[in-house]
Amino acid sequence: MIRLFVLVSFLIMSSGIGFCSIVSNIDKKEIELTTRFDGSKILVFGALTGIKNDPNLLIELVGPKQDMTIRKKSKVWGIWVKKDYAKFKKVPSFYQINSTNLNSDKRREITNRKLEKYFFSKLKNTETTSQKRVDKKEYFSEFLRLKKKKKSISLFETEITVLQKTLFFSTIELPQKIFPGEYKVIISTLDENNEVIKSSSEIVKVAKTGIQKFLSFNAANNSTFYGIFSVILALFLGFSAAQIFRLLKI
């Protein structure tokens, strides 16, 4: 990584480019989800050109899209049931924002803008059994609470380190439970109004391997085989456990 920083710095100094641009990279292009996977860290690094003042940098990690349903308890004939619900369509399964040392007002503005773009705007429909209309913000607040509880959303918890207004690096932490698919890393420079000046992107491919890949594929594409295999595996494990306990008694 140090060699890459030195090479990038040399190219920037020798090129004399006057406009803003970003040269970026990541230390991991692929991540394997094995039975022993307990999370992973991704190092994002690179260099800037054409920056005179202290740069305002933003690094986002946007996970593969998924649908998510938020249910709300309501009283039906005197019984509390989760009848009311709201559906979020095609929202990132994981999302993280890192930034340079921005003030609280800028962070709040960026947070609201990003949450609106990736999550709140994806709230497509709600359904309620009660006569009182449920505010969409209530569902959205519960949605964010669940995402934070699962550690699948992180907002400005990690800063970007910038060296000599040129080189930068930051880390992104992935939790133990993540979805397979393509994760997009977006690096952006911002102006004083938090508008994007220049951006670059990298892709991290997350895939299941081994028995997890086998089970996941058959569960989605061959449900009959998956069901039979699960029953046979359960019987085999049960029989094996019974034999082990019988031997231990002897």
Say which residue the tokens 């509880």 belong to.
149
Q: How far is CA 65 from CA 88, 90, 92, 169, in A?
A: 10, 5, 4, 26
Distant-in-sequence, close-in-space partners of 130: CB < 8 Å, separation ≥ 6:
74, 75, 84
Mean pLDDT by 10 residues, the chain (250 residues): 49 48 89 86 90 84 91 65 77 93 89 92 68 69 90 91 90 90 92 87 86 57 68 78 73
pLDDT at residue number 2? 52
pLDDT at residue number 92? 94
- Determine contact, residues 147/153, Cβ cutoff 8 Å: yes
Q: How far is CA 67 from CA 18, 33, 93, 167, 199, in A?
A: 44, 21, 9, 37, 27
**Bridge partners, 208 (sequence order):** 33
DSSP 160: P
Closest CA to 86 of 66, 70, 65: 70
b/e string for 123-134 if b means 16 or more Cβ within 10 A? beebeeeeeeeb
- Determine contact, residues 45/202, Cβ cutoff 8 Å: no
pLDDT at residue number 10? 45
Q: Output 112-119 pairs: Cβ under 8 A, ≥24 positions apart.
A: 113/194, 114/60, 115/144, 118/62, 118/91, 118/92, 119/88, 119/91, 119/92, 119/95, 119/143, 119/144
pLDDT at residue number 214? 55
pLDDT at residue number 126? 62
Distant-in-sequence, close-in-space partners of 24: CB < 8 Å, separation ≥ 6:
44, 45, 46, 185, 187, 200, 202
Tokens for 1? 């990584």
Task: Give dist(CA 109, CA 21) in Å, integer.
Answer: 24
Residue 193 CA to its chain's centroid (Å): 26
- Determine contact, residues 189/22, Cβ cutoff 8 Å: yes
pLDDT at residue number 112? 92
Task: Give dist(CA 109, CA 107) in Å, integer.
Answer: 5
